[in-house]
């Protein structure tokens, strides 16, 4: 029952009428938005885990960042951004690329902070983890907002079928490795 729900909740959803909603894995921008939703959920789990001093929950979020998020960033940097290198997008793309590097630095700091498996009563370590978790959650919220308010609408306006299919195939190939 994995039918697409008819463009749920995106307010309108018009202007993409190319018959792509025929039950096949629709378009890559929808897929990227879906990973943003999962990323938001993981950020919430990280925030809660850091607050509750739940090492396992924080470690799970870290694992998600280093696997799924890394792959998502490759989808954007290697498949989407190069096809949007038009003048109006260049500055935003450069900023998004820099933010990806900043996120990686934050992930590394978080991984280091939990690498010693801090005990629940290690207030110093958990205070650092909580701060890093909050920084990461905030950084992603802003980053996702920027992508979804500028680049994704541009992609929907400007990318047509051969390019969309190629992006989708490249994303699938990253998941088959
Ligand atoms: Fe993204």
Please report the pLDDT score of residue 174 as a whole number. Answer: 92
If you search the block for the tokens 């992609």, which residue do you land on? 155
Please report the pLDDT score of residue 4 as a whole number. Answer: 43
pLDDT tens, residue by residue, 28-78: 999 999 999 999 999 999 999 999 999 999 999 999 999 999 999 999 999
- The alpha carbon of 41 and the centre of ligand 1 are apart by a number of angstroms equal to 14
CA Rg value for the chain: 18
Nearest to 141 by CA among 152, 151, 149: 149
pLDDT tens, residue by residue, 4-34: 444 444 443 434 444 444 555 578 999 999 9
Distances in Å between the Cα of 125 and the Cα atoms of 48, 104, 151 are: 16, 20, 37
| Proportion of the chain in helix, strand, coil states, percent, rounded to 5 | 75, 0, 25
Q: By percentage, how much of the chain surpasses pLDDT 90?
A: 75
- The alpha carbon of 47 and the centre of ligand 1 are apart by a number of angstroms equal to 19
- The alpha carbon of 124 and the centre of ligand 1 are apart by a number of angstroms equal to 32
Please report the pLDDT score of residue 175 as a whole number. Answer: 87
Q: How many CB atoms lie within 10 A of CB 98?
A: 10
- φ, ψ for residue 132 (rounded to 5)? -65, -40
- φ, ψ for residue 4 (rounded to 5)? -75, 140
For residue 122 the two structure tokens come to 């290690």
- The alpha carbon of 80 and the centre of ligand 1 are apart by a number of angstroms equal to 10
E runs forming strands in 46-156: none
- The alpha carbon of 84 and the centre of ligand 1 are apart by a number of angstroms equal to 14
Please report the pLDDT score of residue 160 as a whole number. Answer: 87
Phi-psi region of 149 (alpha: psi -120 to 50; beta: other; left: phi over 0): alpha
- The alpha carbon of 34 and the centre of ligand 1 are apart by a number of angstroms equal to 10
CA distance 102 to 157: 29
pLDDT tens, residue by residue, 71-127: 999 999 999 999 997 778 899 999 999 999 999 999 999 999 999 999 999 999 999
What homologous superfamily is domain 28-176 in, according to CATH? nmb1532 protein domain like (1.20.120.520)
pTM metric for this prediction? 0.81
């Amino acid at each position: 029952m994995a039918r697409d729900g008819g463009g749920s909740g995106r307010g309108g959803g018009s202007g993409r009428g190319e018959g792509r909603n025929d039950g096949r894995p629709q378009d890559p921008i929808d897929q990227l938005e879906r990973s943003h939703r999962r990323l938001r959920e993981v950020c919430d789990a990280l925030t809660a885990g850091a607050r509750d001093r739940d090492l396992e929950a924080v470690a799970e979020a870290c694992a998600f960042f280093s696997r799924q998020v890394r792959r998502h960033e490759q989808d954007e940097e290697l498949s989407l951004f190069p096809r949007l290198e038009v003048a109006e997008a260049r500055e935003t793309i450069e900023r998004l690329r820099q933010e990806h590097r900043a996120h990686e630095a934050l992930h590394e700091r978080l991984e280091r902070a939990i690498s010693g498996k801090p005990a629940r009563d290690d207030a110093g370590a958990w205070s650092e983890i909580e701060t890093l978790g909050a920084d990461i959650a905030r950084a992603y919220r802003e980053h996702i907002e920027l992508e979804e308010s500028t680049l994704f609408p541009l992609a929907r306006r400007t990318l047509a079928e051969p390019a969309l299919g190629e992006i989708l195939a490249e994303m699938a190939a990253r998941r088959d490795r």
